[in-house]
Amino acid sequence: MTRAPQWRGLSRRSVLAGALAGGAALALSACGTRQDAVRLATDDRWKQFAGTTINLVSENTAPTEAIAANLRPFTELTGIKVNILMLELTALAQKVALDLAGGESQYHVIYADPYQVLAPYSKGLVDLRELASRPDLPQLPGGWGDFIPTQLDATGRFGDHDKVFAVPYDCPTMIWQYRADLFEKHHDRMADDLGFDPTPSAERTWEEYFRIAKWFNEKTDDVQYGAGHQAKQHDSLMCDFSNVLWSYGGDYFDNGKEIGLYGTTDPGACRLNSDAAIEAAEFYQRLISISDPSSKTWDWNGLAPALQSGRIAMSPNWHEYAAANEQAMPGKFGYAPMPRGPVRSANHFGGTGIGINANTLPNERAAAWLFVLWATSPETQLSNLKSEAGGGTPTRQSVYDMPEVKAAEHRPSAMPNILTAPAVSQAWEADKIGLRPKIPMWNECDTAIYTQLSKMLAGDASPADTMRETAKRIDRITARGWAA
């Protein structure tokens, strides 16, 4: 994962309908002598590679599910056939690594997860600015400026601030999800008891969140617990804790914002041993102690049903669970940016872009670019929003500005994920977005973080010792460096 909203846990289908045949085609294509796609003599820039077949490898994400269910518009537009192979993220990263290292282009279009693909293998991806500037190819709709700026940097760049290796494709973001009906029902009593307006927003503090959770625990039987969290010994624990860490002014390395946006191969010393990080860990330990005890067994997919079934009153989770929330209890949920700590509100961003294999031959590379253009276009993103097979949420500002999308921010909504738009639009602001370090060795660091945090939550280590030991382990990992 890096991070994973509901679609990552629903059915870990390795292959979608039609992709079994696609997988066979992939295997066969790798066996023979490589030949470039044929370029046709035509004035239609979309049709110049008609008859070509390209292969996309992706994690099973909401936009890929929606696109795979409705490829006909692209095929009719271009005459290009697309095989889509969907895998669990670790398996995807392994296949991509082998393909790039072997000098092959079995997969032309790649779901370039920022941490498992982009950071370690950016040299194996095409700088997409070159394709975007070619006059013989269709122009990028809306230009680069139509993408949410922080998303373009976080999902598309590595090292070089100018090069773009991936186009923003999905954008799951952690926000505060809560039972709006219960907050409304108990608003006045909570406000009197707590001494502040309990309405969730970026102005609420984590300490206030803690007190709200405790109030629900003690003052009402509407839910079993006030709050739930994804605190299993798993990547989800790192994701959940990071919101608190950043809000307290802590970070994994110096220049955390810069490393999160642009990445580096040498992040320097880990800063989890700072006073701010230790204070964040102390608060997080307290928070989990009064949250639903099952929190320590939940990742994002365990947490979501707890909220949707009425077991808990609120939780931080990926915003793309909104559609399932609204299906479970129509009209009863609210969405807000994460609470703030002493420094800021921090909302963990988990988006990914799609890129193109640099081993592609010239014509197949251009054909792959046509697919990238179409798959990330405003029209396709709008179609994905409406899709019953997938959904996701757009990465382009122009889609959020469409009148029908703006209207869908209010109930009744045919695009329930867009109910979160007011919250996530704040969450993506430069001072509120939460970005883990984009470094090639992040996976090992991630494992060290959630392993040590899990020991802390089990009572086997103090917050201070946990942060110091985690910093030591991360320093050992980064000291080894990275050779792609």
CATH of the domain at 317: 3.40.190.10
Residue 135 and residue 119 share a domain: yes
Report yes or no on 416 lying in a domain.
no
Report yes or no on 430 lying in a domain.
no
Nearest to 351 by CA among 110, 119, 3: 3
Residue 448 and residue 310 share a domain: yes
Report yes or no on 433 lying in a domain.
no
pLDDT at 391: 67
Residue 87 and residue 57 share a domain: yes
Residue 118 and residue 235 share a domain: no
Report yes or no on 323 lying in a domain.
yes
Quick check: 106 pLDDT over 80? yes
Q: What share of the chain is helix, strand, coil (3-state, %, to 5)?
A: 50, 15, 40
Residue 133 and residue 79 share a domain: yes
Domain hosting 138: range is: 7-172+351-401
Of 25 and 55, the structure prediction assigns the larger pLDDT to 55
Report yes or no on 311 lying in a domain.
yes
Residue 77 and residue 28 share a domain: yes
Of 17 and 459, the structure prediction assigns the larger pLDDT to 459
Q: Quick check: helix, strand or coil at residue 243?
A: helix
**Domain total for the chain?**
2
Residue 260 and residue 167 share a domain: no
Report yes or no on 139 lying in a domain.
yes
pLDDT tens by residue, 180-210: 999 999 999 999 999 999 999 999 999 999 9
CA 97 to chain CA centroid, Å, is: 21
* Residues contacting residue 356 through CB under 8 Å, at least 6 positions apart: 108, 109, 110, 125, 126, 128, 131, 365, 368, 369, 372
pLDDT grade, residue 31 (50/70/90)? very low
Find the mean pLDDT for residues 247-274: 97
Residue 319 and residue 206 share a domain: yes
Mean pLDDT over the full length of the chain: 92
pLDDT tens by residue, 388-418: 876 678 999 999 999 999 999 999 999 999 9
Residue 318 and residue 196 share a domain: yes
Q: Determine which of 15-29, 81-95, 299-313, 438-452 has the lowest per-residue pLDDT on average.
A: 15-29
Report yes or no on 112 lying in a domain.
yes
Residue 377 and residue 338 share a domain: no
- Provide the sign of the torsion angle of the four alpha carbons 146, 151, 157, 160, taken in this order: positive
pLDDT at 22: 39
Angle subtended at Cα 374 by Cα 382 and Cα 402, rounded to the nearest 5 degrees: 25
Residue 149 and residue 57 share a domain: yes
pLDDT grade, residue 12 (50/70/90)? very low
Residue 122 and residue 181 share a domain: no
pLDDT grade, residue 484 (50/70/90)? low
Quick check: 348 pLDDT over 70? yes
Report yes or no on 454 lying in a domain.
yes
